[in-house]
Amino acid sequence: MRTVSRTGIVTIAILAALLLGGGMCVASYNRLVRLDQGAQAQWAQVENTYQRRADLIPNLVETVKGAAAFERETITAVTEARSRVGQVTRPTEITTRPGDFRQYQQAQDQLGGALSRLLVVAEAYPTLTATQGFRDLQAQLEGTENRITVERMRYNEAARELNVARASFPTSIIAGLFGGRFAERQYFTAKTGSDVPPQVRF
């Protein structure tokens, strides 16, 4: 009967530990890649819904401009807010840069607020709100705002899942080895004062 030497047992144990450790590293890396891709895909959905809203605005503004004596300052506010959104530089990894992410969210929130004011003010013009074109645009914008809310929530969930994984041991070691590849994702937050309805005076 052959006996295994002590050196052989130690060698086998070391090899088994290395294989196990290597397997854990590969599994952790692959999990981070999957979560990172999920967060990126969800971010793309957020941008798609924001783009849809931006594409609807020119049609809405043109429809509203046709209403006699409609408040020009409200239209100007919407147009300027949309322009500011387009001017915000979006680095490839905006979701990992707190300052850029905050600036992007503020520009989008300002545009959303300006649109809300426009729709509220439009209610004072029965001839405008009675037109089919305006009603269609209003319904599309309301649907888009709902989609934005849903996509932002889904992005936050994907970002949270990635952030939890990258902060958990032993995955945090793998995340640390790859530096910015698996950087912490930023979250959308509620706009300050969003719990207070806008004041509109006629």
* Per-residue pLDDT tens over the stretch 82-128: 888 877 767 778 899 899 999 999 999 989 988 888 888 887 777 77
* Confidence band for 201, pLDDT divided at 50, 70 and 90: very low
pLDDT at 152 over 90: yes
Q: How far apart are CA 92 and CA 89, in angstroms?
A: 10
One-letter identity of residue 22: G
Domain boundaries, the chain: 7-182
Is 137 exposed, middle or buried, given 0-12, 13-18 or 19+ CB atoms closer than 10 A?
buried
Q: What are the backbone angles phi and psi of residue 173, rounded to the nearest 5°?
A: -65, -45
CATH class as words, domain 7-182: mainly alpha
pTM score, whole prediction: 0.77
The count of other CB atoms within 10 Å of the CB of residue 142 is: 12
* Per-residue model confidence as pLDDT tens digits over 71-85: 677 788 888 888 888
Among 186, 181, 189, which residue's Cα sits nearest to residue 36?
Answer: 181
